[in-house]
Amino acid sequence: MRTYTYKAKLNAHTHRNLTEFLTQQRLLYNGALQERIDCYQKTGESIGLYDQRGSLTTLRREDEWFRKFDRWCQDSALVRVERAFKRFFRQGRGFPRFKSYKRGVQSFETLQKKPTFNGKYGYVKLKGIGRFRWRQDGRCDDRTKVKVLRVVQRPTGVFIQLVCDDKPQRLGLNQAIGIDVGVHLRAALSDGTVFPRHTPDRTEIRRKQRALNRCETGSNGRKKRRASLARACYRARVRRHNDLHRLTSEIVKHHGKWIAVEDLDIQAMTASAAGTAASPGCQVKQKAGLNRSILDQNWGTFFSQLDYKAASAGGQLVRVDPKHTTQRCSSCGGLPIKALTLNDRWYECTHCGYRDDRDVNASKNVLLKGLALFDAGGSFPAVSATGRPNQDMGPDRHGTV
């Protein structure tokens, strides 16, 4: 599944209707959440998506305002309540919260509407809202492949997202690489390539935050500056994503599509050091700074982009256990007598004399672990841990790396 995003054009009338519909979605979401809570408190039993769809039908019969819009676009709010409860029960996430007037609902999706394409433009007309139009760019031309149509309101405009059922194509190089992500270097590859760390420029956002803070609560100036800050934050997010897309595309195109990375628990790594009131932690500020620089590297997005890009190039991304990947020697497999600290930038093996950048050494270890996990149906391209393609395609190719 791939998602393609297009900036939509819509007239003022459609814009107004969209705002009205998103307000209704917020009320519907909050109503559905309240209905579940009430039902559980009164009867001790839970209601599900199907019961709530029934309630929506009743509501549409009784209220003209709800009848005005498309039934299957409205369904989006109910599906989202269902998903929020699934995350709460199955993934241990927080209890679903009501959507406030300020944050609201910014998007909705439908499985029932397909767009129309006429060469240059794509269109979709939604009942009660109006017509959306966007410029086609050749990424998605087949309307039968569109599974989900999503409308997203963002600070810089309205966007249409088409979630398509695209089959991966086989192309590109046949090489396997290991990647070590870090804070000193953004990423080190087992073929020796290193990408420098990423430090986002926050000056514009800081300036706009200060300007917002100076405004009086409830004033028109505050409203304007709030929107301006939202646009700046959104632009920063787009920039960050574009940077990452450039990086991950380069890795898959020029370095390898069989990729091994460390299976990092980012949430645990970036937990606060504050502790509890009974047993307060130490170096809380320092830990917060480290957390910020870890999160600035966007490892989660980095991995998920690599995952789908590798898959669509006919390769695979595997996650390996990060244990000892930094400490072990990638040449002889020995562990150092004295453990490496964060300040040691070079790896020097006391057993075999191997010397390398510490992060490159780690990425080679990641690759060694990953080779056993690739599921290539016997056609796995043979490589050595140094990234050189292996000439010998014999049966011991996994053992000799």
The closest alpha carbon to 315, from 366, 368, 379, 221, belongs to 379
Tell me how far, at minimum, the Cβ of 333 lies from Zn ion, in Å.
Answer: 7
d(CA 138, CA 121): 10
Residue closer to Zn ion by CB (options 332, 376) is: 332
- What's the min distance (Å) between Cβ of 6 and Zn ion? 52
Which residue carries 């409203």 as its tokens?
223
CB closer to Zn ion, 271 vs 352: 352
- Helices within 251-329 (DSSP H only): 266-269, 284-296, 299-312
Please state the closest distance from residue 246 (CB atom) to Zn ion, in A.
35
Our CA angle for 330, 336, 338, nearest 5°, is 150
Sequence-distant (≥ 6) Cβ neighbours of residue 4 within 8 angstroms: 139, 140, 161, 162, 164
d(CA 28, CA 74): 8
Question: Listing from the earlier edge strand, what are the strands of the sheet with 2-7?
Answer: 2-7, 157-164, 146-154, 107-110
In angstroms, the CA 87 to CA 79 distance is 12
- Which pair of tokens denotes residue 222? 């505050």
Pick 80 or 364: Cβ nearer Zn ion: 364
CB distance 20 to 68 below 8 Å: no
What is the DSSP-derived secondary structure letter of residue 111?
A: S
Which uninterrupted H or E stretch holds 6? strand 2-7
Query: From the CB of 173, what's the least distance to Zn ion, in Å?
Result: 29
Dmax (CA) for the chain in angstroms is 80
Q: By C-beta, is 232 or 329 nearer to Zn ion?
A: 329
Contacting residues toward Zn ion, per CB under 5 A: 329, 331-332, 334, 349, 351-352, 354
CB of 253 to Zn ion, least distance (A): 32
Selection from 134, 163, 170 nearest residue 8 by Cα = 134
Q: How far apart are CB 353 and Zn ion at their closest, in Å? A: 7
The smaller minimum CB distance to Zn ion, of residues 110 and 330, is found at 330
- CA–CA distance, 235 with 238 (Å, rounded to integer): 5
Q: Which is nearer to Zn ion, 117 or 354 (CB)?
A: 354
Residues 6+ apart with CB under 8 A from 230: 155
Which of 25, 363 has the CB closer to Zn ion?
363
The distance of closest approach from Cβ of residue 363 to Zn ion in the complex, given in angstroms and rounded to an integer, is 16
Pick 183 or 352: Cβ nearer Zn ion: 352
Q: Are residues 268 and 254 in contact, defined by beta-carbon separation less than 8 angstroms?
A: no
Q: Which is nearer to Zn ion, 58 or 350 (CB)?
A: 350
